[in-house]
């Protein structure tokens, strides 16, 4: 049985525990177990912390990787930011031995040592590579009959040479996973645009941050899209809670349900809306996503 160390990050356990529940249920359905990473901290966000102090960011990120290494397990994440931070730290330490030695020296007293013998994976990679589209299709018992807008987010795709998911301007992995559930993944204008939350923008300039979200939602509505599917807990917060904030700041309503990819897959596998935590979202589910 395959096992992964599940790196929860901050937003999933604190704001959207349904993402965790859905992810564990879906993986368990296909014989994949998850283990907690005791003592894990914030990833921390690479675009913010790493931009100001590379070495401090690297120490914190490397520590999280080393905690999983101690268990002998690859890491799975459900946040693009966490994925970006941990995967980039792992990449840097494998490419720059002087930084690896420096990190190990700093953690000698804690009994941790970076060895570089595990991988950091995004949940999309586990769904696509470990389970596969065909197995997902075969397991569907409650097909999703809806037009879906896929939101990839930024850190999953770039920097492309480090991520290794092919052409970042023409990704298909999320669209394929969406369509495995029976849903239709609909292309729309600015599909690969940022949700607006990243780089500290949501915290510093919420109104400006929401203009990105508003534009994406409007583009989806133009194409008749009935639900948003994302791959990142932070994007999820921006697209879901952000719709309430958009109404408050701009007086505009979109009422587009937002689901994490494992929540959509979970519905297609027969799990209920409540089991997947969809009843706790800011934007209520429509009948398309109620089981």
For the sheet with 32-36, list strands across it.
Answer: 32-36, 2-7, 75-77, 120-122
Q: pLDDT tier at 99 (50, 70, 90 boundaries)?
A: very high
Write the DSSP symbol of residue 279. G
- Contact between 76 and 4 under an 8 Å Cβ cutoff? The reply is yes
Summarize pLDDT for 133-165 with one digit per residue, the tens: 999 999 999 999 999 999 999 888 888 777 878
Summarize pLDDT for 162-196 with one digit per residue, the tens: 787 878 899 999 999 999 999 999 999 999 999 99
Task: Answer whether residue 132 shows pLDDT above 80.
Answer: yes
**Domains contained in the chain, CATH given:** 2-122 (1.20.1050.140), 143-289 (3.40.50.11810)
For the sheet with 147-151, list strands across it.
Answer: 184-185, 147-151, 227-230, 258-260
Say what the pLDDT of residue 127 is: 98
Summarize pLDDT for 49-77 with one digit per residue, the tens: 777 788 999 999 999 999 999 999 999 99
Say what the pLDDT of residue 204 is: 84
Task: Answer whether residue 278 shows pLDDT above 80.
Answer: yes
Say what the pLDDT of residue 164 is: 78
Q: pLDDT tier at 245 (50, 70, 90 boundaries)?
A: very high
Average pLDDT of span 98-115 = 96
């Amino acid at each position: 049985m395959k096992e992964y160390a599940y790196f929860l990050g901050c937003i999933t356990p604190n704001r959207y525990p349904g993402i965790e529940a859905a992810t564990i249920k879906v993986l368990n359905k296909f014989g994949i177990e998850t283990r907690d990473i005791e003592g894990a901290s914030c990833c921390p966000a690479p675009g913010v912390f790493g931009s100001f102090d590379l070495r401090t960011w690297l120490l914190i990120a490397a520590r999280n990787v080393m905690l999983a290494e101690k268990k002998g397990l690859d890491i799975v994440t459900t946040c693009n930011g966490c994925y970006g931070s941990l995967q980039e730290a792992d990449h840097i330490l494998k490419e720059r031995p002087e930084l690896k030695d420096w990190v190990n020296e700093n953690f000698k007293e804690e009994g941790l040592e970076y060895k570089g013998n595990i991988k950091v994976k995004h949940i999309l990679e586990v769904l696509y590579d470990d389970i596969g589209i065909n197995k997902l299709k075969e397991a569907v018992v409650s097909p999703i009959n809806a037009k879906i807008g896929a939101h990839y987010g930024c850190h999953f795709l770039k920097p492309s040479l480090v991520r290794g998911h092919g052409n970042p301007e023409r990704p298909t992995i999320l669209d394929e996973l969406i369509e495995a559930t029976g849903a239709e993944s609909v292309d729309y204008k600015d599909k690969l645009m940022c949700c607006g939350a990243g780089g500290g923008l949501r915290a510093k300039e919420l109104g400006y941050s929401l203009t990105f979200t508003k534009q994406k939602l409007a583009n989806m509505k133009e194409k008749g899209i009935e639900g948003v599917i994302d791959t990142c807990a932070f994007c999820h917060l921006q697209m879901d809670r952000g719709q309430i904030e958009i109404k408050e700041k701009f007086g505009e309503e979109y009422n587009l349900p937002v689901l994490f990819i494992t929540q959509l897959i979970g519905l297609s596998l027969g799990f209920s809306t409540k089991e997947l935590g969809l009843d706790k979202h800011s934007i209520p589910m429509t009948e398309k996503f109620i089981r």
